[in-house]
Amino acid sequence: MGGDNYRFKETLWTQIIKAKDKSETGYTKAISYLISAYWKPVYFYIRRKGYDVENSKDLTQSFFTVFLEKEFLQSVDKGKGKFRTFILASLNHFLSKEREKAAAQKRGGGKLPLALDFSSAESEISFEPHDKSTPEKEFLQDWARSILKHALENLRAEFEQKSRKVYMDIFDSFLSSTAEEKSIGYAETAKKFNISEMDVKNYLHRIKRRYRELIEDEIKKYVSEPEEIKEELQELFSIFSDNF
């Protein structure tokens, strides 16, 4: 899976390697890549821990500043587990230390290599309660949602051209349908789009297959070997299993 060129693709781990060495040509770009990938899950996690908006903004920026200043990346090893697990453990350690300091000194003294759009993030976060949910589980779900979101955005970019827009329209109609509406089946969908039921089935099959391929493309960014893709896909979908 991934073909002969798989190892030459930019992945999370290739960026981590670059971000470990300040003398590396791509150091700043790699650091920006990592922060871009993880700042929202970090911010959401802090908010769900009960911190208000302003404190959460401050803590998020401070966490990444400390993360870089203390060179936490030097202890990262892909053989020791997933990077998102490392980030969460580091974040919990950081928050514990912050509670001990009780904001005795001003946070966030350093400057991050990119601006963080907190207003946009605040509009995305959900605090909808769930019996089995915890901030830790939500942190992993935020990662999973970002994978699905990016894959869906790429899917739309491919299929929203005029000649193939019907694929996306049909897919969207099924995504937004209630369970009762889905039970109506292909007949009503075919009637709605003025095509045959067989076309509906074929369109859905093709776009679902392509969606899965794009999800796999996103997953590839987080693994170092092709054989890890299946494991990551299983975890991706198992993350939401307790919520259904």
- Per-domain boundaries in the chain: 10-105, 133-244
**Which pLDDT tens digit goes with each residue over 85-113?**
888 888 998 998 877 665 445 555 556 66
- Here the tokens at position 241 are 């299993």
Dump pLDDT digits (tens) for 114-159: 677 877 777 777 766 555 678 888 888 888 888 888 899 999 998 8
Whether residue 210 has pLDDT greater than 90: yes
Question: Which 8-state DSSP code applies to residue 224?
Answer: S
Question: Would you call 191 helix, strand, or coil by DSSP?
Answer: helix
- For residue 31, give the amino acid letter: I
Q: What is the pLDDT of residue 152?
A: 92
Please report the sign of the dihedral spanned by the C-alpha atoms of residue 162, residue 166, residue 171, residue 172: positive
For residues 155 and 78, give the distance between their C-alpha atoms in angstroms, rounded to a whole number.
30
> What does the angle CA 116 – CA 16 – CA 223 come to, to the nearest 5 degrees?
105
With CA atoms as reference, report the closest residue to 41 among 194, 222, 230, 242: 222
Tell me how far apart the alpha carbons of residues 145 and 137 are, in angstroms, rounded to a whole number: 12
DSSP codes of every residue in 52-101: -HHHHHHHHHHHHHHHHHTTGGGG--GGG--HHHHHHHHHHHHHHHHHHH
Task: Read off the pLDDT of residues 173-192 as tens digits, 9 standing for 90 and up.
Answer: 877 655 555 545 778 888 88
Task: Give pTM, 2 decimals.
Answer: 0.65
Q: So what's the pLDDT on residue 182?
A: 54
Q: What is the pLDDT of residues 67-89, one digit of tens each?
A: 887 777 877 776 667 888 888 88
The yes/no answer on whether domain 10-105 falls in CATH 2.30.30 is: no
Q: Give the separation between CA 239 and CA 215, rounded to whole angstroms.
A: 15
Higher pLDDT among residues 159 and 11, named by residue: 159
SS3 assignment for 138-174: HHHHHHHHHHHHHHHHHHHHHHCCHHHHHHHHHHHHH
Has residue 20 got a pLDDT over 50? yes
Structure tokens at 231: 């494991």
- For the record, the structure tokens of 12 come out as 């999370």
